[in-house]
Every structure is written in structure tokens, then in C-alpha cells.
Structure 1
Amino acid sequence: MRVLITGVTSFLGLYTAKLLLQEGHEVIGAVRPGSRRAQELDAHGISAYPTYRTVLLDLSELPEAELGETHYAEVLGLDQAPATPDRSAEPAGHSGTAAAMQAAVAVPARSSAPAVTAPPSATHLPLPALADDAAPLIDAWIHFAWDGVGSAGRSDTNIQIENIQNAKKAYLYAKLLGARKFLFAGSQAEYGRGNHRVPLPVSPYGKAKLSFGRWATEQSLLSEIYDDAPMQFIHMRIYSVYGSGDHETSLVNTVLRAALRHEAVTLGPCEQRWNYLEVHDLARAIRILLSSEDTRTGIYDIAGSDSRMLKKYVIAMNAIAARFAANADTTADGDATTAAGATQAVTAGGQTTDTAAGVTPTGAELRFGTRANNAEGAANMSPEILKLQRLGFHQEISFEAGIGMLLKTMREEGSES
């Protein structure tokens, strides 16, 4: 399977790409020219895989998707199709890697549109042959690219409008390249104060992801009616994912660092229902959605099977980190399991109490209710993962084990100090 990923250098993109490469799939990582995160591909060992290639692509330079599929193809030069790559001489299992990846062909410019170009040393995505008997150039496209994911960016309407436009371009480009699936990284923020039946997003971020999802769903359903080879739209509504490499200001990283340093941390009330999923499990869920023949155009919640009040998650990770720092057990996973079972209460001042030992362990001072909620408000998380489970997904890493893994990585990297 050959998969193109926009946003491959993102936290979720890196783990997804690495899992696919480890399992023998081909991955094309679309990177914005001049991206400051391009080095992450080397740091995570992704560039070393022979079945990985980077292409430079700036979606903002592509024509508007509303021009329509035919005109879009003409403007990009996709109507001038090169010959279909000859794959007969390639080794089994490589699905045209040599022919497709070694052809350094950039999208040619027309008078009305700029070219998508890169330096001669860069690898480009070759153009597909659009004749009726042409093989598709890619099997699937995963779209992680989305600017303005911090609290300030989520509230910036202009950034979110541009995200919608770029996602539409990616969708149409994927269809022109012959993809059979387009996986979009949506968010539980699309539900907001509503539910699965009636989403009521709060922030421009949630509203923008919901807006694009509805547009792409309609396009995909129309494609099923009119096209011989329709492209499925898989709208992944991703809940809170954590793990090594996540943004340093995430709630998990903030609490863990404070706990290891025995510092105070200011928090919102944390009274909403929450759900966490370790990033390796997220990557496995996406791989299932890519490979399953039983998927259909529609929404798939990606979340763990364990939902709790957010305050309970915070108390648990604080206690896990406190035990880890004190070397109470021999392994990170052992610290995680033992601490989670012992932590049952929180004092008025926000410190956790180890009821099993009858003492207050060191760790962060958790100051609940001393700051406002983020741009999404205090929305409750109520994932419906039955559709994903029916495809074969199950959560393999518990929250306690995942936090233990993260703490061990933080210690190895020296990022806990």
C-alpha cells in the first residue's frame, strides 16, 4: 500500500508514518517547503526507510478546489498524463517504488497557477497517468496538516478558514492521484457542547473541522453515485492523544514535569469527562482504517476505552510521576500500575494523597480551578468506538502504562529536568 501523508512531521503524522513503514508499506511524506520540523523525519528514523520519500508541497499555492475537478486537473497540468510506470520488473511487494519514486517530475505551471516545485535534489511526487487503464499513483492520503492547533490558533477564524481551503485542495488532489481512501484527522472538538447526533463545536477550530468534514462527506457520497472508482472519506474524530513528542505545553507534559520537579501547576476545574489514548494505539487505529475493506464513508471516533473525569486523570498522572521520581518500583510500568491503584483522593490544596500508605507523596501541587478552560470550554468527551472496534481495533496501552512509558522516555532524554 502506498500512502501519502500531509502533516507527516506532526506528532500524529510521525508515529503513523513509522508504523506503516515498519509494516512494509510505502509512505510519501508531503512537507511544506522550508518547514522547521523537516528534521523530525531524520530524528525519528523515518528518512532511513527505503520505502519512504519526501515531496515538497505547499497547499496554499494550489488552485481553489471549487474550480471543479476537471478544471483543477487542467490548471495543474494533470490532463497531460505521462505514461503509466512499468512495474513488471520490480521485486514483489514494492508496488512500483523504483519507477514512481525515482521520476523527479514537478507539477508544471500554467499561466494561471504557480508550480509546486522543489530543488533538483528533492524527490517529487510523479504525476499519475489519467487514462482509463492507468494504475492509481497512491492508494490513500492521510491529512494531518492543520495550522493553529494551540489555544490561540484555535480561536483564530482566519487561520481556520485557510485550513478548510487547504483541506479541500488536498481532498481533490488525492482523488486526481487515484486514491481510494482519504483519511482526515478531525477532532472531538467538533462535538463541542453537543453530541454525535447534533455537534455543537465551540471554537473556530472545531467549527472548521466540522465544516470540512461535511463538505468532504458530501463529495465522497456523490462520488459513490457518479464515479466508477469512488474515493472513500474517512472522517477520524480523534480524542486526546498523548505520548513522547507531543507539544511540551500539553496537559500531560505540564503535569508530569511539575510533578517531577515538585512544583505547583495551575489548572482549570477539570470536571469534564475525558478520554486519553497513547499515540502508538492511535497509529494502529489509523492503520486499521487504511487497510480494512469494511470501511465506509463516514465518521470514526478514535479514542480509548477508558473515560474518566479529567481531574482523576490528572491526579493519577501526578501520583505516577511522584512514584517514578522516588524510584518506588523497579520499572516505569510498575510505577504506573502501583501508583494508580493507590491514589484515591485529592486534598483541598490540590495535592494527591496515597491512601494505601497513608501519606502525601511528593509531586506537583495541583491547583484546580485557578485558571480558565481553554478555547474548547469544558466539553465532555463521550467517544463511540464501536465502529472502530468492529474493524478489529482494541486499546493495547492503558493510561497508567502509557504514562510510565512517557516518564521513562523523559528520563532517557533528560527532558524531565
Structure 2
Amino acid sequence: MNVVVTGATSFLGRAVADRLLKQGSKVYGVVRPGSQNMRYLPADQPGFMVIERELEALDTLDQVIGGTCQAFYHFGWDGSGSENRMKREVQQRNVRDSLKALEGAMRLGCSRFLFSGSQAEYGIHTGPLSEDTVCDPVSEYGKAKLDFLRQAEETASKWRQSGISSMEYIHARIFSVYGPGDHPWSLVESCLRAFGRGEYISLGECTQMWNFLYLEDCVRALMLLMESKKESVSGIYNVAAPECETKPLREYIRQMYETMGYHGSYSFGRRRPNAEGLVNLIPDIRKLEEETGFCPHVSFSEGTRKTWGYEKRIDMEGKMWYER
């Protein structure tokens, strides 16, 4: 296929692009002009083309991509870090820019558009979260992701009714993903680094229910949705590990401590909750399972070993690669 991946230097964007290239797709990786992270891209691989575009100009991609594309993965989103998640002006700009991406996909003749939504759209709940759960987001980040869902569904519906485009809109509501290449300040990376070095780490209460999904499994779930042979897979899908993997966050911490050979130390209750408060993640992924047959291949113990087993290296040309 000919596939567009925006946010191609992001954690998920890089992984999706790599997987698509391995299966023989032509990949257009969209990045911001002058991005320092472009050195992480597989620009020298056959089938990969880097396109430098600001997020607000994603409706003009047809000017540089010749011909039709079949699929469009949209990961480009500004201000996903904690300090910007509560800034309305930053997050609402993302909504406007993502609508430009949707228009860009339509102009390219894409059959499907997949957007990286977030569990933050649900807000704070104590029970299981299905796609039908009422959303009441706390952060501006979650509100913006939900705003885009509503506007994108309405826009795609109007296009279908008017005969402009039959493009399907897939809203992947992604929960907590970890793996090689994640941000160094993420919980899994921070714990593995501390325990791997025999150091101490202070943590929050970690009493909330949580659910982790390994990067490779997340990418496979997204691609199963995008490449499904079913006539239509439009709609919202929770992307997470199954119910059996949901457990108190403290259990995940203890599991990482065990995996790393009980080196270092940790304590709970020393850090304040993030801006969105104490959130429970209890995803219901039955819809994803029923529509695609998705089942994770990597357990948390294996995933953390894989994550720690890859050391980030920068070669002489400034490109990142991973080594066991």
C-alpha cells in the first residue's frame, strides 16, 4: 500500500512506519520542518519518503505525493507532555490541524484514516471502560481528542452523503503503551533505568488499576484495524491489553523490580498525581477482539525485558538504532 504516517518521529509513528516498510508498503513519513528527530527516521530505506510539513499544512500533502494513497495514520499532535495537557489554546489548535490532516487524506483518495485517540477522553472512572462509556475528560488534552472525534465523524459522514469521499474514520483510543524508544521519563523507562542501575526511585501512590500494552502489540492492533478485510471498521476502538492484564499499578512496579533482579529500591506515596488526577485504566477491548481477532503476543514480563534489552545508540551519522 501507499501509506501516510504523520508524527513519523513519535514513539508510535516510528514503530508503525518501520512495520509498514517491513511488509513492503510505500511510506510517506510526515515531520515538522527542521525537526531534530529526523535522524531517527529510516530515510535510507527503500520505500520511505520524508515530507516536511507543519501540522497546519497537512491538507496540502497531495502537492508533494503523486498518486493515490490507501491509508493515513495520524499521530501528529503538539503538546502531549504534561505541561501542555491543560493548555486549551495548544490543544484546540491540534483539533484544527488534525481536521486539515483529515482533509489531506481525503484529497489523497485514502480509503481509511486512523487517528490516535487517548484514554484521557474518558476522564476519571472507577469501572471498566468500553467504547460506549460516557466521556468526561479532565484535561484539555482529553477534551481536544474528543472534540476531534466528534468533528471528524461529522465531516466524514457529510463527505459520504454528498459523494465526495467514502473514506472510513477509525478512532483508536490508545491506553498505556510501553517499549523501546519511549520517552525516557515514562514510568516503565524510569523504573527499568533505576532498577537496572541499582538506584532508588520515588513513586506516587500507584494504587490505581492499570493496563500496559507492549509497543509491537499496539502497532499490530492498529494495523489490523487499518488492513481489515471487512467492508467497514469505522468507529471507536479501545486499544489496550485484555482484562486479564489489568491490575493495581503497584503490581506492575513489583513485577519490573523482580524482572530486574531486585536491584535498587523504590517507595510509594512520595510524588503527587499528574494534572489529570488519579486515573483508573480498566479497558474493555472486546470490540477490538471481535472485529480483528486481536490478541497480544508479548506479556508484561517479556515486554519489559525486551525494552531493557535494547540500548539506545547514536551512530556516526547521528541516526538512532537499537542493540540487544
Aligned match of 2:253: 314
Say yes or no: does 1:303 pair with 2:240. yes
1:238 Cα deviation (Å)?
0.6
Aligned match of 1:60: 56
Aligned counterpart for 1:266 among listed residues 202, 216, 222: 202
Secondary structure of the corresponding residue to residue 36 of structure 2: coil
| Greater relative contact order (Cα < 8 A, sep 6+) | 2
Aligned match of 1:4: 4
Secondary structure of the corresponding residue to residue 151 of structure 1: coil
Aligned match of 1:257: 193
TM-score of the two chains, using structure 2 as the length reference: 0.89
Deviates more, 1:242-251 or 1:377-386: 377-386
Aligned match of 1:162: 93
Q: Where has structure 1 moved over 6 Å in runs of 4 or more? A: none
Aligned counterpart for 2:65 among listed residues 125, 135, 151: 125
Paired AA for residue 152 in structure 1: E
Secondary structure of the corresponding residue to residue 164 of structure 1: helix
1:225 Cα deviation (Å)?
2.7
Aligned match of 1:335: none
Contact between 1:221 and 1:297, CA under 8 Å: does it hold in 2?
no
* Distance verdict in 2 for CA 1:369–1:203, change over 3 Å: same
Secondary structure of the corresponding residue to residue 50 of structure 2: strand
Identity of aligned residues (%): 40
Paired AA for residue 125 in structure 1: I
Q: CA separation in 2, counterparts of 1:375 and 1:303?
A: 22
Q: CA separation in 2, counterparts of 1:233 and 1:212?
A: 11
* Distance verdict in 2 for CA 1:315–1:240, change over 3 Å: same
* Distance verdict in 2 for CA 1:145–1:175, change over 3 Å: same
Aligned counterpart for 1:241 among listed residues 172, 177, 188: 177
Contact between 1:220 and 1:297, CA under 8 Å: does it hold in 2?
no
Q: CA separation in 1, counterparts of 2:46 and 2:113?
A: 24
1:4-403 → structure 2 map (5 Å cutoff): 4-41=4-41, 46-61=42-57, 107=63, 124-126=64-66, 137-194=68-125, 195=129, 196-227=132-163, 229-294=165-230, 295-305=232-242, 306-321=245-260, 323=261, 361-364=262-265, 366-390=266-290, 391-403=292-304
Paired AA for residue 308 in structure 2: L
Paired AA for residue 257 in structure 2: N
1:262 Cα deviation (Å)?
2.5
Paired AA for residue 107 in structure 2: L
Paired AA for residue 151 in structure 1: S
Any idea what the Cα deviations from partners look like across 1:324-349, whole Å, max 9, x if unmatched? xxxxxxxxxxxxxxxxxxxxxxxxxx
Q: CA RMSD in A?
A: 2.1
Q: CA separation in 1, counterparts of 2:287 and 2:149?
A: 18
Secondary structure of the corresponding residue to residue 169 of structure 1: helix
* Distance verdict in 2 for CA 1:388–1:62, change over 3 Å: closer
Aligned residues: 306
Q: CA separation in 2, counterparts of 1:224 and 1:301?
A: 25
Any idea what the Cα deviations from partners look like across 1:180-215, whole Å, max 9, x if unmatched? 111000111111114542111111111111110111
Bigger strand fraction: 2
1:50 Cα deviation (Å)?
1.5
Paired AA for residue 24 in structure 2: G
Paired AA for residue 44 in structure 2: A
Q: CA separation in 1, counterparts of 2:211 and 2:78?
A: 23
1:393 Cα deviation (Å)?
1.3
Any idea what the Cα deviations from partners look like across 1:254-307, whole Å, max 9, x if unmatched? 111111222221211111111111111111111111110324221011111211
* Distance verdict in 2 for CA 1:412–1:308, change over 3 Å: farther
Q: CA separation in 2, counterparts of 1:106 and 1:234?
A: 21
Q: CA separation in 2, counterparts of 1:392 and 1:384?
A: 14
Aligned match of 1:409: 310
Q: CA separation in 2, counterparts of 1:279 and 1:163?
A: 24
Paired AA for residue 36 in structure 1: Q
List runs of 5+ in structure 2 lacking aligned partners: 315-321
Q: CA separation in 2, counterparts of 1:396 and 1:268?
A: 30
Q: CA separation in 2, counterparts of 1:318 and 1:62?
A: 43
1:62 Cα deviation (Å)?
6.4
* Distance verdict in 2 for CA 1:363–1:25, change over 3 Å: same
* Distance verdict in 2 for CA 1:225–1:28, change over 3 Å: same
TM-score of the two chains, using structure 1 as the length reference: 0.70
Higher gyration radius (CA)? 1
Q: CA separation in 1, counterparts of 2:76 and 2:39?
A: 17
